[in-house]
Protein backbone atom coordinates (compact mmCIF):
# COMPACT_ATOMS: atom_id res chain seq x y z
CA UNK A 1 0.00 0.00 0.00
CA UNK A 2 1.38 3.40 -0.98
CA UNK A 3 0.63 6.57 0.96
CA UNK A 4 -0.41 9.55 -1.25
CA UNK A 5 -1.93 11.92 1.31
CA UNK A 6 1.05 14.29 1.02
CA UNK A 7 0.16 14.88 -2.64
CA UNK A 8 -3.49 15.94 -2.18
CA UNK A 9 -3.50 18.94 0.18
CA UNK A 10 -5.00 21.30 -2.43
CA UNK A 11 -7.52 18.68 -3.47
CA UNK A 12 -8.69 18.27 0.13
CA UNK A 13 -9.12 22.05 0.42
CA UNK A 14 -10.99 22.08 -2.88
CA UNK A 15 -13.55 19.67 -1.42
CA UNK A 16 -14.52 22.36 1.12
CA UNK A 17 -14.64 25.17 -1.46
CA UNK A 18 -16.63 23.00 -3.85
CA UNK A 19 -19.15 22.19 -1.11
CA UNK A 20 -19.69 25.90 -0.38
CA UNK A 21 -20.06 26.63 -4.09
CA UNK A 22 -22.59 23.81 -4.40
CA UNK A 23 -24.69 25.18 -1.52
CA UNK A 24 -24.66 28.65 -3.08
CA UNK A 25 -25.73 27.21 -6.44
CA UNK A 26 -28.68 25.48 -4.74
CA UNK A 27 -29.70 28.76 -3.10
CA UNK A 28 -29.24 30.56 -6.40
CA UNK A 29 -31.58 28.16 -8.17
CA UNK A 30 -34.39 28.52 -5.64
CA UNK A 31 -34.54 32.17 -4.63
CA UNK A 32 -36.67 34.72 -6.47
CA UNK A 33 -34.42 37.78 -6.10
CA UNK A 34 -32.71 37.67 -9.49
CA UNK A 35 -34.03 41.01 -10.76
CA UNK A 36 -35.65 43.73 -8.69
CA UNK A 37 -38.26 45.85 -10.48
CA UNK A 38 -39.41 49.29 -9.36
CA UNK A 39 -42.98 49.86 -10.63
CA UNK A 40 -45.06 53.07 -10.66
CA UNK A 41 -48.51 51.57 -10.12
CA UNK A 42 -48.81 50.70 -6.42
CA UNK A 43 -52.51 49.86 -6.55
CA UNK A 44 -51.85 46.13 -6.77
CA UNK A 45 -48.13 46.02 -6.04
CA UNK A 46 -48.39 47.81 -2.72
CA UNK A 47 -44.70 48.06 -1.97
CA UNK A 48 -43.86 49.29 -5.47
CA UNK A 49 -41.17 46.61 -5.77
CA UNK A 50 -41.45 43.24 -7.54
CA UNK A 51 -38.91 40.45 -7.74
CA UNK A 52 -38.37 38.45 -10.91
CA UNK A 53 -36.74 35.08 -10.51
CA UNK A 54 -36.17 32.21 -12.88
CA UNK A 55 -39.06 30.16 -11.46
CA UNK A 56 -41.38 32.75 -9.85
CA UNK A 57 -42.48 36.38 -9.87
CA UNK A 58 -43.39 37.81 -6.45
CA UNK A 59 -44.47 41.08 -4.87
CA UNK A 60 -46.27 42.31 -1.73
CA UNK A 61 -49.94 43.21 -2.10
CA UNK A 62 -52.71 44.31 0.23
CA UNK A 63 -55.46 43.88 -2.37
CA UNK A 64 -54.98 40.41 -3.85
CA UNK A 65 -55.06 38.66 -0.46
CA UNK A 66 -56.43 40.91 2.30
CA UNK A 67 -56.36 44.53 3.36
CA UNK A 68 -55.33 43.77 6.96
CA UNK A 69 -51.90 42.36 6.17
CA UNK A 70 -49.42 42.50 3.34
CA UNK A 71 -48.84 39.06 1.87
CA UNK A 72 -46.40 38.13 -0.87
CA UNK A 73 -48.21 37.23 -4.07
CA UNK A 74 -46.34 34.86 -6.41
CA UNK A 75 -46.89 33.39 -9.84
CA UNK A 76 -44.95 30.45 -11.18
CA UNK A 77 -42.84 30.74 -14.35
CA UNK A 78 -42.88 27.54 -16.37
CA UNK A 79 -40.23 26.26 -18.75
CA UNK A 80 -42.72 26.15 -21.64
CA UNK A 81 -44.30 29.59 -21.07
CA UNK A 82 -44.13 31.62 -24.26
CA UNK A 83 -43.43 34.96 -22.55
CA UNK A 84 -40.24 33.75 -20.84
CA UNK A 85 -37.22 35.70 -22.17
CA UNK A 86 -34.17 33.71 -23.34
CA UNK A 87 -31.98 34.72 -20.38
CA UNK A 88 -34.48 33.28 -17.88
CA UNK A 89 -35.06 30.18 -19.99
CA UNK A 90 -31.32 29.56 -20.14
CA UNK A 91 -31.01 30.10 -16.39
CA UNK A 92 -33.72 27.51 -15.71
CA UNK A 93 -31.83 24.78 -17.54
CA UNK A 94 -28.22 25.70 -16.82
CA UNK A 95 -28.61 26.08 -13.06
CA UNK A 96 -30.13 22.59 -12.80
CA UNK A 97 -27.31 21.15 -14.92
CA UNK A 98 -24.78 22.92 -12.69
CA UNK A 99 -26.30 21.50 -9.50
CA UNK A 100 -26.28 17.96 -10.92
CA UNK A 101 -22.72 18.21 -12.27
CA UNK A 102 -21.40 19.64 -9.00
CA UNK A 103 -22.99 16.73 -7.12
CA UNK A 104 -21.32 14.25 -9.48
CA UNK A 105 -17.98 16.04 -9.19
CA UNK A 106 -18.23 16.03 -5.41
CA UNK A 107 -18.81 12.27 -5.29
CA UNK A 108 -15.93 11.65 -7.71
CA UNK A 109 -13.61 13.78 -5.57
CA UNK A 110 -14.62 11.90 -2.42
CA UNK A 111 -13.81 8.56 -4.07
CA UNK A 112 -10.40 9.87 -5.17
CA UNK A 113 -9.58 11.24 -1.70
CA UNK A 114 -10.60 7.95 -0.13
CA UNK A 115 -8.06 6.12 -2.28
CA UNK A 116 -5.44 8.73 -1.43
CA UNK A 117 -5.86 8.67 2.35
CA UNK A 118 -6.57 4.97 2.82
CA UNK A 119 -3.72 3.86 0.60
CA UNK A 120 -3.63 2.34 -2.86
CA UNK A 121 -1.43 0.11 -4.94
CA UNK A 122 0.99 1.56 -7.48
CA UNK A 123 -0.98 -0.08 -10.27
CA UNK A 124 -4.08 1.93 -9.22
CA UNK A 125 -2.44 5.37 -9.25
CA UNK A 126 -3.91 6.05 -12.69
CA UNK A 127 -7.41 5.59 -11.22
CA UNK A 128 -6.73 8.28 -8.62
CA UNK A 129 -5.52 10.69 -11.28
CA UNK A 130 -8.53 9.92 -13.52
CA UNK A 131 -11.01 10.50 -10.67
CA UNK A 132 -9.48 13.88 -9.82
CA UNK A 133 -9.44 14.85 -13.50
CA UNK A 134 -13.09 13.90 -14.05
CA UNK A 135 -14.17 15.71 -10.89
CA UNK A 136 -12.27 18.83 -11.93
CA UNK A 137 -13.84 18.86 -15.39
CA UNK A 138 -17.32 18.52 -13.88
CA UNK A 139 -16.66 21.46 -11.55
CA UNK A 140 -15.36 23.59 -14.42
CA UNK A 141 -18.44 22.84 -16.54
CA UNK A 142 -20.67 23.71 -13.58
CA UNK A 143 -18.93 27.05 -13.10
CA UNK A 144 -19.61 27.91 -16.75
CA UNK A 145 -23.25 26.84 -16.35
CA UNK A 146 -23.58 29.29 -13.46
CA UNK A 147 -21.63 32.10 -15.12
CA UNK A 148 -23.65 32.25 -18.35
CA UNK A 149 -27.13 32.94 -16.86
CA UNK A 150 -25.70 35.26 -14.19
CA UNK A 151 -23.91 37.45 -16.72
CA UNK A 152 -26.86 37.34 -19.14
CA UNK A 153 -29.36 38.43 -16.51
CA UNK A 154 -26.93 41.07 -15.27
CA UNK A 155 -26.82 42.51 -18.78
CA UNK A 156 -30.64 42.52 -18.92
CA UNK A 157 -30.74 44.47 -15.66
CA UNK A 158 -28.19 47.02 -16.84
CA UNK A 159 -30.06 47.61 -20.10
CA UNK A 160 -33.50 47.60 -18.36
CA UNK A 161 -34.95 44.81 -20.51
CA UNK A 162 -38.74 44.28 -20.36
CA UNK A 163 -40.79 41.08 -20.04
CA UNK A 164 -44.30 40.68 -21.49
CA UNK A 165 -46.01 39.06 -18.50
CA UNK A 166 -49.55 37.67 -18.85
CA UNK A 167 -52.44 39.59 -17.30
CA UNK A 168 -52.87 37.23 -14.35
CA UNK A 169 -49.37 38.12 -13.16
CA UNK A 170 -50.45 41.73 -12.45
CA UNK A 171 -47.02 42.85 -13.60
CA UNK A 172 -46.19 45.72 -15.96
CA UNK A 173 -44.36 44.85 -19.16
CA UNK A 174 -41.50 47.19 -18.27
CA UNK A 175 -40.32 48.60 -14.94
CA UNK A 176 -39.30 52.13 -14.20
CA UNK A 177 -35.87 50.93 -13.10
CA UNK A 178 -34.21 47.62 -12.36
CA UNK A 179 -31.66 46.64 -9.76
CA UNK A 180 -29.49 43.60 -9.32
CA UNK A 181 -31.08 41.08 -6.97
CA UNK A 182 -29.35 38.99 -4.31
CA UNK A 183 -29.08 35.97 -6.59
CA UNK A 184 -26.59 37.52 -9.00
CA UNK A 185 -23.82 38.23 -6.42
CA UNK A 186 -24.38 34.76 -5.00
CA UNK A 187 -24.00 33.35 -8.49
CA UNK A 188 -20.69 35.16 -9.01
CA UNK A 189 -19.31 33.83 -5.70
CA UNK A 190 -20.54 30.31 -6.49
CA UNK A 191 -18.98 30.45 -9.95
CA UNK A 192 -15.64 31.58 -8.51
CA UNK A 193 -15.57 28.79 -5.89
CA UNK A 194 -16.49 26.12 -8.44
CA UNK A 195 -13.85 27.42 -10.84
CA UNK A 196 -11.12 27.34 -8.17
CA UNK A 197 -12.18 23.84 -7.15
CA UNK A 198 -12.03 22.58 -10.72
CA UNK A 199 -8.55 24.08 -11.27
CA UNK A 200 -7.20 22.49 -8.08
CA UNK A 201 -8.55 19.07 -9.04
CA UNK A 202 -7.29 19.20 -12.62
CA UNK A 203 -3.80 20.23 -11.45
CA UNK A 204 -3.33 17.08 -9.34
CA UNK A 205 -0.08 15.29 -10.13
CA UNK A 206 1.07 11.84 -9.09
CA UNK A 207 4.45 11.48 -7.36
CA UNK A 208 7.31 9.48 -8.75
CA UNK A 209 7.65 5.95 -7.45
CA UNK A 210 10.87 6.80 -5.60
CA UNK A 211 9.06 9.47 -3.55
CA UNK A 212 6.08 7.32 -2.63
CA UNK A 213 5.53 6.67 1.05
CA UNK A 214 4.86 3.09 2.09
CA UNK A 215 2.71 2.05 5.01
CA UNK A 216 4.61 0.39 7.89
CA UNK A 217 4.10 -3.33 8.35
CA UNK A 218 1.25 -4.35 10.57
CA UNK A 219 1.73 -5.04 14.26
CA UNK A 220 0.28 -8.53 13.92
CA UNK A 221 2.96 -9.37 11.39
CA UNK A 222 5.71 -8.14 13.72
CA UNK A 223 4.30 -10.12 16.64
CA UNK A 224 4.16 -13.23 14.47
CA UNK A 225 7.81 -12.81 13.49
CA UNK A 226 8.75 -12.21 17.11
CA UNK A 227 6.90 -15.38 18.16
CA UNK A 228 8.67 -17.45 15.52
CA UNK A 229 12.04 -16.05 16.58
CA UNK A 230 11.25 -16.79 20.23
CA UNK A 231 10.29 -20.36 19.38
CA UNK A 232 13.46 -20.89 17.41
CA UNK A 233 15.54 -19.44 20.21
CA UNK A 234 14.00 -21.74 22.81
CA UNK A 235 14.56 -24.80 20.59
CA UNK A 236 18.16 -23.82 19.95
CA UNK A 237 18.76 -23.26 23.66
CA UNK A 238 17.28 -26.69 24.51
CA UNK A 239 19.46 -28.48 21.97
CA UNK A 240 22.58 -26.68 23.15
CA UNK A 241 21.76 -27.54 26.78
CA UNK A 242 21.31 -31.23 26.02
CA UNK A 243 24.63 -31.36 24.16
CA UNK A 244 26.37 -29.57 27.01
CA UNK A 245 25.01 -31.87 29.75
CA UNK A 246 25.81 -35.00 27.77
CA UNK A 247 29.40 -33.88 27.36
CA UNK A 248 29.64 -33.17 31.10
CA UNK A 249 28.32 -36.65 31.95
CA UNK A 250 30.88 -38.27 29.69
CA UNK A 251 33.67 -36.29 31.28
CA UNK A 252 32.61 -37.21 34.81
CA UNK A 253 32.37 -40.90 33.91
CA UNK A 254 35.90 -40.82 32.55
CA UNK A 255 37.23 -39.55 35.90
CA UNK A 256 35.50 -42.34 37.87
CA UNK A 257 37.54 -45.10 36.18
CA UNK A 258 36.71 -48.78 35.43
CA UNK A 259 35.82 -51.38 38.15
CA UNK A 260 38.50 -54.05 38.89
CA UNK A 261 36.94 -57.54 38.92
CA UNK A 262 39.86 -59.08 40.83
CA UNK A 263 39.48 -56.59 43.62
CA UNK A 264 35.82 -57.42 43.88
CA UNK A 265 36.67 -61.16 44.03
CA UNK A 266 39.07 -60.65 46.99
CA UNK A 267 36.44 -58.78 48.89
CA UNK A 268 34.10 -61.75 48.56
CA UNK A 269 36.69 -64.08 50.01
d(CA 253, CA 137): 90
Specify whether the CB–CB gap between 197 and 139 falls below 8 A.
yes
Residues 6+ apart with CB under 8 A from 230: none
Please give, one letter per residue, the 3-state secondary structure of 129-197. Answer: HHHHHHHHHHHHHHHHHHHHHHHHHHHHHHCCCCCCCCHHHCCCCCCCEEEECCHHHHHHHHHHHHHHH
Q: What is the pLDDT of residues 188-242, one digit of tens each?
A: 999 999 999 999 999 877 766 544 444 454 444 444 444 444 444 455 545 555 5
pTM: 0.71
Percentage of the chain surpassing pLDDT 70?
69
Specify whether the CB–CB gap between 161 and 191 falls below 8 A.
no
Q: What is the pLDDT of residues 29-74, one digit of tens each?
A: 999 999 999 988 777 888 889 999 999 999 888 777 655 556 788 8
**Hey, how many other C-beta atoms are within 10 angstroms of the C-beta on 42?**
12
Average pLDDT, the chain: 78
Q: How far apart are the first and last CA of the chain?
A: 89
Residues 6+ apart with CB under 8 A from 73: 58, 59, 60, 61, 64, 65, 170
Amino acid sequence: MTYLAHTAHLQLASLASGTIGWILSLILTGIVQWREWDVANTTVITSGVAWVGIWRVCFFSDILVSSESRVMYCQRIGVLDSFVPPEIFAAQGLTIVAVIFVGMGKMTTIFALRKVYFGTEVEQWSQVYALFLIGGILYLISSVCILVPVVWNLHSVMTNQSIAFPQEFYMPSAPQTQQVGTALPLGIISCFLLLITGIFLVRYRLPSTSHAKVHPESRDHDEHDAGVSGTLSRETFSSMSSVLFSSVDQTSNSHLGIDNEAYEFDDKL
